[in-house]
Amino acid sequence: KLLFTTGRCGAMRIMMADQGQEWKEIVVDFADWMKGDLKATCVFGQLPKHLGRNHDAYGKDGKEAALIDMMCDGVEDLRLKYVKMIYQEYDTGKDVYIKDLPNHLDKFEAVMAKNKTGFLVGDKPSFADYSLFEVLLNHLVLCSSCLDTFPSLKSFVEKMSARPKIKTFLDSEAYKQLPINGNGKQ
Query: Distance of alpha carbon 132 from its chain centroid, rounded?
Result: 5
What is the Cα–Cα distance from 59 to 29, expressed in whole angstroms?
A: 34
What is the Cα–Cα distance from 136 to 78, expressed in whole angstroms?
A: 10
Instruction: Output 49 or 171, whichever has higher pLDDT.
Output: 171
Nearest to 128 by CA among 56, 69, 64: 69
The answer to whether the beta carbons of residues 132 and 118 sit under 8 Å apart is: no
Q: What is the pLDDT of residue 5?
A: 30
Residues 6+ apart with CB under 8 A from 31: none
Q: What is the pLDDT of residue 59?
A: 87
> Model's pTM, two decimal places?
0.81
Q: pLDDT tens digits for 107-153?
A: 999 999 999 999 999 999 998 999 999 999 999 999 999 999 999 99
Helix/strand/coil (H/E/C) assignment for every residue in the chain? CEEEECCCCHHHHHHHHHCCCCCEEEECCHHHHHHCCCHHHCCCCCCCCCCHHHHCCCCCCHHHHHHHHHHHHHHHHHHHHHHHHHHHCHHHHHHHHHHHCHHHHHHHHHHHHHHCCCCCCCCCCCHHHHHHHHHHHHHHHHCCCCCCCCHHHHHHHHHHHHCHHHHHHHHCHHHHCCCCCCCCCC
Please give the mean pLDDT across all residues of the chain: 84
What is the Cα–Cα distance from 169 to 186, expressed in whole angstroms?
A: 21
Confidence tier at 4 by pLDDT (50, 70, 90): very low
Q: What is the pLDDT of residue 96?
A: 97
Q: Is the pLDDT of residue 163 over 50?
A: yes
